[in-house]
Amino acid sequence: MIAVKGLEGQKVMILGLGRSGLSAARALRAGGAEALCWDDNAQARERAEAEGFACVDPLSRDGFEGVARLIVSPGIPHLYPTPNRVVAAAWRAGVPVDNDIGLFFQSFGGSDWDGFDTMPRVVAVTGSNGKSTTSALIHHILDQAGREAQLAGNIGRGVLDIDPPGDGGVVVLELSSYQTDLARSLTPDVAVFTNLSPDHLDRHGGMGGYFAAKRRLFAEGGPDRCVIGVDEDEGRYLANQLAEAAGDDRVISVSVEEKLTGPGWHVFSRKGFLSEYRKGRQVASIDLRGMPGLPGAHNHQNACSAFAACRALGLGPREIEKGFQSFAGLPHRSQLVGERGGVRFVNDSKATNVDAAAKALQAFDKIRWICGGLEKDGGLGGLLPYLGTVSKAYVIGREAANFAMQLGGIEVEVCGDMASAVALAAAEAEAGDVVLLAPAAASFDQYDSFEKRGEHFMAEVAKLL
């Protein structure tokens, strides 16, 4: 556990008692603060009380009396579409609002580091798509190279639940826009921006607010090295803002769409080959085509980002390549579930938006595509250029008919539920086909999470295999 520093003897209110909320309460108590907890869910409050925490309604009279800070869980809106009532009350009371990420960076480090030969470092990864795979890949590479590494944040453990790092230890954090938007302290040593596509727009008041939340990690965090995906205008803008000159190697540019060979530090992938260029000269190359855990161009982008971050940490290209070779991938992200009669079944339930689904469709040929769910803002127009690999679409979800109407130019069958879609796709598939779950939509119309949706797909495939 990372005990929270700087709030000793003070009262701190915790709003939201899920994984991050309870973790923050424990870390605050370990650091000598008094954690006051609240959640609208009575069972969540009971769990907190069972651990000895006092539950106090912050909206009660004098609820914020003597409170030094309000810690808000990431699922609770603090500004858009409307501020949570407790957050608004904290503003009126003059109580600073923060989250567990802010507490982590505020508390990371201590006098025990004085005896270390190499200071522990933090790598923070954000972006719209690929940040989970990129974070897990960085952690895996470090682990395979014999480096002490921990994975936390939006993946793995809560940031305050990790162990204090040892000499030369590295903490790899996946950070969502919900987390970067509110944290009062953001000071990673290496920060990674994978890419940007429309997502969570209601939560951030539009695309500008969404990008601004991501940008805080770099503009306010002051990392020593920045790894920036430059295949969108926002990434190019960010790289330009962070670099002092064209040859500033504190910024490592990453691309899967173009060759980057100018002055500075670049990592890019073309036709399945990763290349590293520094000062206009190639210094490393890796063939990604045979990496089983990294199929498709979108995973090659993840590989480039992870490669750049690990190079910034001092690892050599061959060490990184070994990590690529042994990386098995993450569940629900281009996950090969099984094969029958030359037909492969792939679970990419994490493809919850149009951009992620488009990348999945580009990773395979001859696709039997299972899609649909709770449609996000912007419609499905961004998918239309990538439907050439789709033999047929099998649409699920409560609004399957409306979803199907937007998929012009391909054969579509409205199935409604996962079991029907998997059974029909498998029955119609031929050798060489891929039955791909890449929903291009959120899961919440039929499932509690994308993980539950992916697990249902895998269970239906298991019946066939």
Binding residues: 127-133
Residue numbering of the annotated binding site for ATP: 127-133
Residue 319: its H or E element: helix 317-326
**CA angle, 44 then 45 then 49, to 5°:** 120
**CA angle, 168 then 169 then 173, to 5°:** 140
Of 375, 71, 81, the C-alpha closest to 204 is: 81
Query: How far is CA 299 from each of CA 49, 175, 362, 365, rounded to the nearest angstrom?
Result: 44, 18, 11, 16
Which residues fall within 8 angstroms of residue 98, CB to CB, at 6 or more apart?
A: 69, 70, 71, 72, 182, 183, 184
Burial class (CB in 10 A: 0-12, 13-18, 19+), 291: buried
Q: At which residue do the structure tokens 């998929």 appear?
A: 407
DSSP character string of 148-184: -EEEEESSSB-TTTSPPP-TT-EEEEE--HHHHHH-S
What whole-number distance in Å separates Cα of residue 26 and Cα of residue 84? 24
| φ/ψ (deg, to 5) at 35 | -95, 120
The residues that bridge with 273 in the sheet, in sequence order, are 270, 287
H helical segments located in 84-157: 85-93, 100-107, 131-144
Of 383, 417, 385, the C-alpha closest to 400 is: 417
In the Cβ-directed half-sphere of 57, how many Cα atoms lie within 13 Å?
7
Assigned token pair, 449: 């999470």
Residue 225: its H or E element: strand 225-229
Establish whether the linkage from the previous residue to 317 is cis, with ω within 30° of 0: no
